[in-house]
Structure 1
Amino acid sequence: MARDNLDDLLVFFAVARERNFTRAAARLGMTQSALSHIVRALEARLGVRLLTRTTRSVSLTEAGERLLQNVAPRIEEIEAEIAAISELGGKPAGTIRITAVDHVISSVLWPRIAPLLPLHPDLHVELSADYRIVDIAAERYDIGVRHGDQVDKDMIAVRLTPDIRMRIVGAPFYFADRAAPASLADLMQHNCINLRLASSGGIYAWELRHEGRDVEARVRGQAVFTDAGHILEAALDGAGLGFLPDELVAPHLAAGRLRSVMEDWCPLWPGLHAYYPSRRHSSRALGLVIDAIRHRA
């Protein structure tokens, strides 16, 4: 294969995954017009249309979908093997891309990764905050982070945390003129701080559990955020009740800045796990990061 064809394929894969020329251009550090020219030239050489373009969207043709699904993974495997071979004679090097929710990055991943970087100057780590269930292979992440029951069976999974207790919390002064909720009916009368899901655009239903029964509570309130960090800030400000992991609220509970309620309704969730495709197992840089972030009792 001519080198030009390979370079152009990598550009096409970026556009195909983003379904958007502007986002792909930003990701590759190129202009949108340059990307469009490269894709059109590739289509001309192959003699087939790969993308269907409208003023608002970009979609794959049957040929484009086949190219993305069948060729992109093979090129990624080649890149992974070349990176692994290059590491055999030197220091761990390269960029490890990780996707996780924001509070996991700040409370779990970054504190464990930060001490690693000064020791390995050729190692780079990119941490992306995202509440979506990301297809790490399609979006070219090296590591994803999810709760243990959400990890696909074909992935290698490494535990990052013990199982996680969820909490319903509010500031003490929030309860100054109202009784703490003790039942689901009580909870529905409170001002609750909601989370909007990036994946669907809908409001997250609090996943509670009481007397062995799972309950989805569609609570109401005045404030809606797209991340747990802002929900925590709003709860500390007395704006209402938040539904948050213990690891995020524990220091504030201990200091008396927050109060936990309905504890018999709050479930224990499977701990966080890092996961990655088995074909990337040979990378020394990946192995170094995985070892740094894994859970140690």
Structure 2
Amino acid sequence: METLEGMRLLLKVVECGSLSAAGRASGQSPASVSRKIAQLEDEIGAKLFNRTSRSLSLTHIGEVYYEHVARIVGEIDNLNIAISEQQSVPRGTLNVRTQASIATRFLADALPSFLERYPDIVLQLSLGEFAPDLDNNRIDVDVRVGMPDNPDLMIRKLSPGVERILYASPEYLAKHRKLSGPQDLLNHNCLSLQIASAEEQSCWFYRTPAGIKELRVSGNLIVNDAAILHEAVISGIGIGLLPAWMAADDLATGRAVRILPNVEMTQTVFDFGLYAVFRKSDLILPKVRVFVDFLVETLRRKDAEISRIAMKARRQSAETDRRAPDALRWIHPKGIGSR
């Protein structure tokens, strides 16, 4: 326990910048802090700080020791919290991230019942198009399209999802040349989601018998919000590539027309499933467990809606003389069911 206390005091000294400031923050005298740091140095057999009358800085060994101590103490604190919360009802702040289109279409109407069921949880929902690092952004659960290739993450599949589609407004298609294949997109105004600010051109990918090909498309709108991009497409500005649920209603009413339905295309990954992603741990916090279970339950109820969206995308095509692909190939024949 004395070693752990010394480690915590080391972190406090580095955080505060001086022994006296660390003493005030921890309710101890500077002399007491100095003595305990000296005891820690004696215990590990190395000098951790360079001390002068005017400055205090970590030695090289101190920097290495500090990095490891910060991680160890953090893990101990997280373990204590996890064990404590395992013995209680789900509670605390739950940080969730997903795309705005997913939240609007599949989660918004169900969230009130979740909060009513678990009144001790404070749900902090952030919206963004692209999945961030969970640790660096303090995210408990990320609801995303496509399975991440990361062995350090826990993953639960929520739905097979619906494919991304190319579409445009009838007005745009009437004013521009007809598309017969993916390469024709290079001569069109392709509106894209922003992936990296440094990219001058957006890269779209499509499948061929010879493998996956890429297109460096261009257009006069690159935006990090799918809803804005969709509205721009419907307004007749250009061609969009978005999940079918974004365009399903407009396809049904004729405000949008599907393009190249036999071409499987994406701007990110070809896995169109919906997944709940959270950090790997032997002790999954109750607030995380119940929210993931809620997501599974919610998406199971949305199975019929997802199937209808796929059917709407299938029925609409800019190429009426060619058979559209089976948009239901992404829907499991037995429904979402249990995972």
Fold conserved between structures, TM > 0.5: yes
- 1:279 equivalent to 2:284? Answer no
Rounded to whole Å, the distance in 2 between the matches of 1:271 and 1:80 is: 31
Amino acid at match of 1:221: G
CA drift of 1:65 comes to 7.5
The 5-angstrom pairing of residues 1-297 of structure 1 reads 1=5, 5=9, 8=12, 38-41=15-18, 47=49, 67-68=66-67, 70-198=68-196, 203-211=201-209, 213-267=211-265, 269-279=271-281, 281-294=283-296, 295-296=299-300, 297=336
- Tell me which moved more, 281-290 or 237-246: 281-290
**1:53 corresponds to:** none
The structural deviation recorded for 1:281 is 4.0
Give the Å deviation of 1:181: 1.4
Whether the 8 Å CA contact 2:96–2:123 is kept in 1: the answer is yes
SS at match of 2:85: helix
CA–CA distance in structure 2, aligned partners of residues 100 and 220 of structure 1: 27
- Counting aligned pairs with the same residue, the percent is 26
For 2:61 and 2:189, how far apart are their aligned partners in 1? 49
Other structure's SS at 1:169 match? strand
**TM-score between both structures, scaled by the size of structure 2:** 0.65
Contact kept? 1:105, 1:127, Cα under 8 Å:
no
Q: CA deviation at 1:89?
A: 5.0
Alignment partner, residue 321 of structure 2: none
User: CA deviation digits over 1:41-84, x for unaligned, max 9?
Assistant: 389976269xxxxxxxxxxx99667745x345444443443333
The alpha carbon displacement at 1:206 in A equals 1.3
C-alpha separation in 2, matches of 1:278 and 1:222: 41
Q: Residue deviations 1:223-281, cap 9 Å, x none?
A: 22122121111111111001101122222212222111011122453412112222164
TM-score by length of 1: 0.73
Report how far residue 222 of structure 1 moved.
1.6
CA-to-aligned-CA distance 1:144-163 (integer Å, 9 cap, x gap): 33444424123210112214
Bigger radius of gyration among the two: 2
Q: Which amino acid aligns with 2:271?
A: W
**Contact 2:232 2:238 survives alignment (8 Å):** yes
Check 1:133–1:63 CA distance in 2 against 1; reply closer, same or farther (3 A cut): farther
Note the residue ranges of structure 1 that are not aligned, 5 or more in a row.
Answer: 13-37, 50-60
Counterparts in 2 of 1:87 and 1:216: CA distance versus 1, 3 Å: same
How far apart are 1:215 and its partner, in Å?
1.8
The alignment covers a number of residue pairs equal to 258
Counterpart secondary structure, 2:180: coil
